[in-house]
Amino acid sequence: MDHATHERIAKWERRWLAASGLMSLTFVILIAYTLATEGGEIVQAAGRTDPATLTTSALFAQPGVRALGPNEYQVSLIGQAFTWVPNTVVVPVGALVRFYFTSRDVIHGYQVERTSINLEVIPGEVATLHYTFDEPGTYRVSCNQYCGSLHHEMVGWVEVVSAAEFARRQSAQAAPAEVDGAAVFASNCASCHQANGQGIAGAFPPVAGHLPDLVRADRTYPVKLLLNGLQGAITVNGTSYNGQMPAWSHLSDEELAAVLNYAVTAWDEPEALPADFVPYTADEFAAERQSPLSAAEMLALRGELELP
């Protein structure tokens, strides 16, 4: 290679180096600008957690919002197929919110629209970031990691309310009125099982025309089902399903008893239930809560039921 050719190549190499250096610099400036203006921070690891023992973990046994100090809140969130626990997070505007995330099963993504909150939620890992919402409003949360057949249904919400409204809701929560099973069903179950309890054939099994059969077969089975969830292939009244019912153990024993009592009577004739049926009590849920069952144990249990 003669000297002139060598010089020409060297000149182009310097230009390419300068261009790629400039691009890297631009990206760093953009990231720094976003961090400085959006009030966010880079997601950090905050330790590990065992997905199998979330119900007894300090951070995730009671997922939700808790006050850490004046105008500072902790939000513990669990991702599971195909919902967020809690699905709706309510925080006051202008407060420092410290989020902690983990997953009960597979990798999900928590992306809050119109904010810089966007992270992977990974089983076994705890991720944390803090954020301050400056605008009140309802922010939609999308799962942005493909997590299974109903990934597109995995939508959550962050409600950012005024300090006064936040205080009002907290005091309403502190003194709960009689739990309304219909309301619990509407806000937790109806998106899959539908408001009329009919489910969606092939995707979500019906509650109507089926739940009384489960009660007849084994009174404690629906209690275990709500606490532990169910995953795998089942048949309901001749139709096959292969999906996942999430565990609802984050609901209180009172809420679970109320929603079950609502669902066993809402659509079926009373005669569908055993003649000696008495309403479920919170104590029955408290008792079953002591012995959590694995997904495999739940599926085996359902296989043993004698169903019509």
- With 0-12 / 13-18 / 19 or more C-beta atoms within 10 angstroms meaning exposed / middle / buried, residue 36 is exposed
The structure tokens listed for 240 are: 């096959």
Q: Which of 270, 288, 177 is nearest to 223 (CA)?
A: 288
User: How, if at all, do strands 125-132 and 44-48 pair?
Assistant: antiparallel
102 or 161, CB closer to ligand CUA? 102
Size of the site for ligand CUA (CB under 6 A): 9
Instruction: Spell 103-123 as b/e; 16+ CB within 10 A means b.
Output: bbbbebbbbbeebebebbbbb
Map the footprint of ligand CUA across residues 63-92, applying CB under 6 A: 79, 82
97 or 143, CB closer to ligand CUA? 143
14 or 140, CB closer to ligand CUA? 140
CB 41 within 8 A of CB 129: yes
Does 192 help bind ligand CUA (rule: CB under 6 A)? no
The residue type at 303: G
Does 153 help bind ligand CUA (rule: CB under 6 A)? no
The residue type at 30: L
Nearest-approach distance from CB 153 to ligand CUA, in angstroms: 9
Does 273 help bind ligand CUA (rule: CB under 6 A)? no
153 or 254, CB closer to ligand CUA? 153
CA distance 303 to 193: 21
Does 127 help bind ligand CUA (rule: CB under 6 A)? no
Does 108 help bind ligand CUA (rule: CB under 6 A)? yes
Does 102 help bind ligand CUA (rule: CB under 6 A)? no
Distances (CA, A) of 157 to 113, 227, 244: 10, 23, 21
User: How, if at all, do strands 72-80 and 125-132 pair?
Assistant: unpaired
The one segment of 64-72, 92-100, 140-148, 279-287 that binds ligand CUA by CB under 6 A: 140-148
Cα 61–Cα 67–Cα 73 angle in degrees, nearest 5: 90
27 or 146, CB closer to ligand CUA? 146
Nearest-approach distance from CB 105 to ligand CUA, in angstroms: 9
Nearest-approach distance from CB 111 to ligand CUA, in angstroms: 10
Nearest-approach distance from CB 10 to ligand CUA, in angstroms: 50
Nearest-approach distance from CB 14 to ligand CUA, in angstroms: 46
Does 145 help bind ligand CUA (rule: CB under 6 A)? yes
Cα 188–Cα 190–Cα 196 angle in degrees, nearest 5: 150
Binding residues for ligand CUA, rule: CB under 6 A, are 79, 82, 108, 143, 145-147, 151, 154
